[in-house]
């Protein structure tokens, strides 16, 4: 680009910036908040002739009525949270099931569709198989059903526990 073109563009840019700055300086700031003017008419000019053949444009003053900011307090809306009804816990007994190593019967407590507690009413497993009941109870609560694996070494006890649990769950 030629130096003369650069100078011309710079001069024009400076002139435009100066003009917009001067226009901005002439507009008094009446408020710190935005409000759209209610009168949207644009400034106009009327042509008058002071010398024959040379019209002169004289700006016509525009009356504006700036909208005064109003402070409106929105109504207070109180929202009450809905509390879901707490499902009452229900407890039922399973049937007595004979395993190869003793009788098993469980009592199941459910709340909101979930097993919350399993209690052993009969736990007559012999040969140390009664140690399996604490694991079986936790498995039943975690699975929320009798759909879990048998304990190795306590297969008959696990099956009896599951049958009693299923009988109790069928009563819900």
SS3 state at 115? strand
Residue 15 lies inside a defined structural domain of this protein: no
Residue 70 lies inside a defined structural domain of this protein: no
Residue 162 lies inside a defined structural domain of this protein: yes
**Across the chain, what does the average pLDDT equal?**
77
pLDDT at 125: 83
Residue 141 lies inside a defined structural domain of this protein: yes
pLDDT digits (tens, 9 = 90+) for 74-89: 777 766 666 666 678 9
Residue 129 to residues 9, 74, 98, Cα–Cα distance (Å) = 97, 69, 14
Residue 20 lies inside a defined structural domain of this protein: no
Residue 152 lies inside a defined structural domain of this protein: yes
Please indicate whether residue 100 or residue 63 has the higher confidence score (pLDDT).
Answer: 100
Residue 148 lies inside a defined structural domain of this protein: yes
User: 121-144 burial by CB neighbour count: b if 16+ within 10 A, else e?
Assistant: ebbbbeeebbebbeebbebbeeee
**Residue 46 in this model has a pLDDT that exceeds 60:** no
DSSP secondary structure letter of residue 113: T
Q: What is the pTM of this model?
A: 0.52
Of residues 62, 63, 168, the one with CA closest to residue 120? 168
**Residue 69 in this model has a pLDDT that exceeds 80:** no
**Residue 29 in this model has a pLDDT that exceeds 80:** no
Of residues 68, 62, 63, the one with CA closest to residue 31? 68
Number of domains in the chain: 1
CATH number of the domain residue 116 falls in: 3.90.1010.20
Identify the domain containing residue 108 by its residue range. 90-169
């Amino acid at each position: 680009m030629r130096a003369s073109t650069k100078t011309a563009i710079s001069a024009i840019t400076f002139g435009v910036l100066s003009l917009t700055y001067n226009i901005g300086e002439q507009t008094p700031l009446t408020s710190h908040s935005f409000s759209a003017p209610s009168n949207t008419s644009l400034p106009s000019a009327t042509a008058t002739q002071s010398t024959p053949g040379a019209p002169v444009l004289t700006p016509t003053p525009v009356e504006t009525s700036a909208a005064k900011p109003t402070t409106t307090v929105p109504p207070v809306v109180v929202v009450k949270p809905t509390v879901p009804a707490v499902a009452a816990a229900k407890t039922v007994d399973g049937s007595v099931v004979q395993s190869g190593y003793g009788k098993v019967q469980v009592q199941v407590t459910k709340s909101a569709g979930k097993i919350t507690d399993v209690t052993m009413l009969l736990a007559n497993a012999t040969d140390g198989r009664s140690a399996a009941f604490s694991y079986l109870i936790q498995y039943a609560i975690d699975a929320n059903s009798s759909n879990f694996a048998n304990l190795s070494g306590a297969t008959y006890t696990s099956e009896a526990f599951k049958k009693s649990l299923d009988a109790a769950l069928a009563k819900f």
